[in-house]
């Protein structure tokens, strides 16, 4: 394979769920497109980079219309600090916000921790989460809800993070809960329908 192609394949392989074979298909697809398509792709990528910011509080990506470093949800004074909902990724945040079943502030982990992972800090924002919980604890935090996918990685992530949060919980006495198994095993949160989310939240423990 020509070196230029190989280098591009190496980039696509980094995408979630993309293997080498699929990455090569993407590259050849791009090579077959007209130059305008490539220009458009580059322009759109640049636009996203300049128009979207990552919130300094919850780590979600949000449209940067007012040059803000904190998103509109974290700026909302009415939300209080009693409930912190921890999700894996932005689409999960979107699903829960859209369902509008629970009021609270959010934290986006950025990933899940695989069972044999030796260096979980590499994949999820552990220290920023601890700082957040510590900060909320001084403002009346009542409950930390893990709203993660119902799969072994999700369970393992809850286990590791609950352990990390345990000293803070003992000191500040808040509740740690996880979604009930209305979310059937193997279900990714983002694909859950409204009724399933509702029952998972109501049956949290
Ligand atoms: Zn935010």
CA 30–ligand 1 middle distance (angstroms)? 35
User: What's the CA-to-centroid distance between 66 and ligand 1, angstroms?
Assistant: 14
Measured in angstroms, how far is the CA atom of residue 125 from the centroid of ligand 1?
14
Q: How many A from CA of 47 to the centre of ligand 1?
A: 21
Ligand 1 centroid to residue 78 C-alpha, Å: 14
- Euclidean distance between CA atoms 25 and 156, whole angstroms: 34
**CA nearest 205: which of 164, 159, 145, 165?**
145
CA of 97 to the centre of ligand 1 (A): 12
Check: pTM over 0.85? Answer yes or no. Answer: no
CA of 82 from ligand 1 middle (Å) equals 16
- CA distances 16 to 12, 53, 91, 113, Å, are 9, 21, 14, 15
Mean pLDDT of 16-44: 95
Can you give the pLDDT at residue 73?
92
| pLDDT for position 67 | 74
Residue 33 in tokens: 């497109």
> Look-up: residue for tokens 């004074």?
77
What is the residue whose two structure tokens read 């689409």? 91
- φ/ψ of 84, rounded to 5, equals -120, 120
Distance CA 158, CA 145 (A): 10
Rg (CA), the chain: 20
DSSP string, 133-144: HHHHHTTT--EE
How many whole angstroms from 154 Cα to the centroid of ligand 1?
Answer: 22
Rounded Cα distance, 193 and 100, in Å: 12
% the chain with pLDDT above 70: 97
pLDDT tens per residue across span 79-108: 999 999 999 999 999 999 998 888 999 999
Range 170-174 average pLDDT = 93
C-alpha pair distances (Å), 138 with each of 2, 70, 82, 135: 58, 20, 10, 6
Q: For every residue of 22-79, which 3-state class applies, written as one string?
A: HHHHHHHHHHHCCHHHHHHHHHHHHHHHHHEEECCCCCCEEECCCCCCCCHHHHCHHH
Give distance in angstroms: CA of 161 to centre of ligand 1. Answer: 20
* Nearest partner of 110 among 134, 87, 136, 85, judged by Cα: 87
- Ligand 1 centre to CA of 181 (Å) is 28
The two structure tokens encoding residue 138: 């001084």
Q: What is the pLDDT of residues 123-169, one digit of tens each?
A: 899 999 999 999 999 999 999 999 998 888 999 999 999 999 999 99
141 CA to centre of ligand 1 in angstroms: 17
C-beta of residue 30 within 8 angstroms of C-beta of residue 38: yes
Distance 174 CA to ligand 1 centre (A): 22
Tell me how far the alpha carbon of residue 113 lies from the centroid of ligand 1, in angstroms: 22
The predicted structure's pLDDT at residue 61: 94
């Amino acid at each position: 394979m020509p070196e230029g192609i190989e280098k591009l394949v190496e980039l696509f392989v980094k995408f979630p769920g993309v293997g080498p074979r699929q990455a090569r298909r993407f590259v050849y697809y791009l090579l077959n497109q007209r130059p305008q398509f490539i220009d458009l792709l580059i322009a759109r990528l640049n636009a996203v980079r300049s128009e979207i910011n990552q919130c300094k509080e919850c780590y979600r990506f949000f449209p940067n219309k007012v040059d803000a470093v904190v998103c509109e949800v974290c700026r909302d004074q009415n939300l209080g600090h009693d409930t912190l909902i921890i999700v894996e990724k932005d689409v999960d945040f979107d699903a829960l916000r859209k369902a509008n079943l629970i009021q609270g502030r959010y934290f986006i982990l950025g990933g899940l921790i695989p069972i044999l992972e030796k260096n979980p800090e590499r994949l999820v924002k552990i220290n920023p989460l601890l700082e957040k919980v510590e900060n909320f604890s001084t403002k009346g935090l009542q409950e930390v809800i893990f709203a993660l996918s119902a799969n072994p990685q999700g369970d393992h992530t809850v286990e590791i993070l609950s352990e990390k949060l345990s000293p803070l919980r003992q000191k500040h006495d808040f509740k740690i809960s996880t979604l009930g198994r209305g979310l059937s095993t193997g279900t990714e949160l983002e694909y859950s329908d409204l009724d399933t989310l509702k029952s998972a939240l109501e049956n949290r423990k």
